[in-house]
Structure 1
């Protein structure tokens, strides 16, 4: 609507208030005011041009929207597409590494030079920068979707090559594993031995092991069905979730000794829980549960491992290292690559190949003598 008004110097001018639509970030109606037109015709032309600009380029192209606002709107949409644990991890990445840098900047002022500079700084501090880059990239993609910007500068940024320290000690040898399991048995006459035996003799992830129920273990067929995992919900409480990937759903064979250890633990667990007032006879009873017969937090496995390593001054590996140990030992006995992939539930054969390459590097010096011995001339 065009209006005439009087300026401070007494001269006449024209203004208009234009409706720009609903703000996709706040959900509120937005209007803008333009003043200082000498004639009514000038004001009408400016109003029409503004409306056309909004229709073509999106909501209120003159509006200054900060990255933080776009992120918060994107987060609502993102939540519905990922698991609670992934959503929680994204929020932590944003809170610690992204919003302190990008949050206060207007979305249309973020360019490739700034993005590249930030990614290089991340690379100087952290072993991996890809997840942080992806989160920023997705927020900027969302900004394009709601027509706040036209291009995504983060998509043009190249990840710098990070020189990682060689992790030669991330798994146990056969002898080191035996020592560790012997120590675990002595340290705690309970679930420590069955838990770490299960990890190292099946290669399952700690979340898969902590989510196991007794009906997943078939004593007659000597198999374990891995069909769920353990993660944290938005509030940080443990919950049963789907497996990491579709390939992670698998049924694997287990050896007689591991079955024996699990069977002995089952009897001990029932006695312990009965003493605490819980009936552990259900088929869906957790194989590993806390004193309230509820899910453990995932970090409990790290605590168990650290106690044993510290007590007996053992080589330090991570809980995930037992999965790598299982894989490495499978290759030591020349297990076919595809069998190893299926047993560990790797979705991509390249993951298995990376470990295979590492193992064969340790054994390559033996191959020349083995070949000569086989040829024998």
Structure 2
């Protein structure tokens, strides 16, 4: 590599510059010129990212970048992306009301970090910006003050409304959703071989997700993939009434598909397929719920809040925290504990009475 510098006043100044150039060369600063666009870096990043993560993660990242980031960063040279510019874009996302703004920032930072690893830029400007606080409620951050669940009576009214709606698939789906605390897409991914009718057990190990249909477009398809976490893979007990309903639905399903000339007895037959015996869209249960809630003028909660309903009612039924965590597939206790304590605060007060009663009963035995 050849480079020149001139205009030094003293020999010492020239020697200092020479030593600095050597250091810069050792650190590869001279070739970190950032002379490619963010879009070019993103296209390179996404190719290698496909080899590391689940297909559903690819779609989430693509939507964040292609729908929300490229309009600001796409044609910018990496060397021209500053901390100030990143901060301005972050503020724009927040001002536009995007609840996923925190994820947009993280996705851009991930791509720029790839640029650092490839020695195209020295530092990651997005990582130097102020983190965006997550606004949505999800598995890892629960805003308990906004939680809504069904009481036992409200849940019973909803399930009775499902029965009146006279669609056994929908009725059975919501019974399983309410009585297992499983995620809506975990239930859609269930196969009949996941259900043991002899031991009354249900194994949850899969979930449905939208994945890439064609990497060159934004077309998606629904696919089954492994559960979100190892804790998400679990085998839980099912009550007898729910098992009886599942058994009845299995018989009905086989009859209905036989009439249509569709074979529904293969090893991996879905419990809740669509009318063509393929995967339902992950959003399909939301449509079912909307129809029933509207038709019968019911209190509305989100389908994710059925999980919180399950946790809160398990607490009311005196199940311990660890058993509830296992049942709903939580890998740590934060979310479970927040729901548990929020909807059942009197439990702590009752614990004090239980302790006092125990001491009173046992004090004469020792």
- TM-score class, shorter-chain normalisation, is 0.7 to 0.9
Structure-1 residue corresponding to 2:177: 199
2:295 & 2:53 partners in 1: Cα distance? 39
Contact 2:227 2:233 (C-alpha < 8 Å) held by counterparts: yes
Structure-2 residue corresponding to 1:334: 318
1:169 & 1:358 partners in 2: Cα distance? 9
- How large is the Cα RMSD of the aligned pairs? 3.1
Q: How far does residue 306 in structure 1 lie from its aligned partner after superposition?
A: 0.8
Distance 1:231 1:161, change over 3 A: closer
Q: How far does residue 311 in structure 1 lie from its aligned partner after superposition?
A: 0.9
Deviation digits for residues 172-191 of structure 1 (CA, Å, limit 9, x no counterpart): 11111111111111113321
2:354 & 2:341 partners in 1: Cα distance? 22
Q: How far does residue 282 in structure 1 lie from its aligned partner after superposition?
A: 3.0
- 2:112 is the counterpart of 1:140: yes
Structure-2 residue corresponding to 1:93: 64
* 3-state DSSP of counterpart to 1:230: strand
TM normalised by structure 1 equals 0.79
Of 224, 232, 244, 2:202 maps to 224
Written as runs of structure 1 = structure 2, the 5 A alignment for 1:237-252 is: 237-252=221-236
- 2:105 is the counterpart of 1:127: no
1:360 & 1:190 partners in 2: Cα distance? 33
* 3-state DSSP of counterpart to 1:117: helix
Structure-2 residue corresponding to 1:9: none
Structure-2 residue corresponding to 1:149: 121
5+ residue gaps, structure 2: 5-19, 137-142, 214-219, 361-366
The structure having more radius of gyration, on CA atoms, is 1
Q: How far does residue 321 in structure 1 lie from its aligned partner after superposition?
A: 1.6
Contact 2:34 2:121 (C-alpha < 8 Å) held by counterparts: no
Structure-2 residue corresponding to 1:13: none
Written as runs of structure 1 = structure 2, the 5 A alignment for 1:209-220 is: 209-220=187-198
Contact 1:169 1:317 (C-alpha < 8 Å) held by counterparts: no
TM normalised by structure 2 equals 0.81
* 3-state DSSP of counterpart to 2:212: coil
Structure-1 residue corresponding to 2:87: 116
- The size of the alignment, in residue pairs, is 330
1:270 & 1:98 partners in 2: Cα distance? 47
Structure-2 residue corresponding to 1:42: none
Structure-2 residue corresponding to 1:315: 299
Deviation digits for residues 251-302 of structure 1 (CA, Å, limit 9, x no counterpart): 0000011111111111111111111112223342111112211111111111
1:192 & 1:177 partners in 2: Cα distance? 15
2:30 & 2:228 partners in 1: Cα distance? 39
Larger RCO of the pair (alpha carbons < 8 Å, separation 6+): 2
Distance 1:69 1:133, change over 3 A: same
Q: How far does residue 160 in structure 1 lie from its aligned partner after superposition?
A: 4.3
5+ residue gaps, structure 1: 1-17, 20-33, 35-48
Deviates more, 1:232-241 or 1:218-227: 232-241
Q: How far does residue 98 in structure 1 lie from its aligned partner after superposition?
A: 1.2
Deviation digits for residues 31-51 of structure 1 (CA, Å, limit 9, x no counterpart): xxx9xxxxxxxxxxxxxx999
1:59 & 1:69 partners in 2: Cα distance? 21
Please state which structure has a larger fraction of its residues in strand: 1
- 2:270 is the counterpart of 1:298: no
Contact 1:249 1:345 (C-alpha < 8 Å) held by counterparts: yes
Structure-2 residue corresponding to 1:68: 39
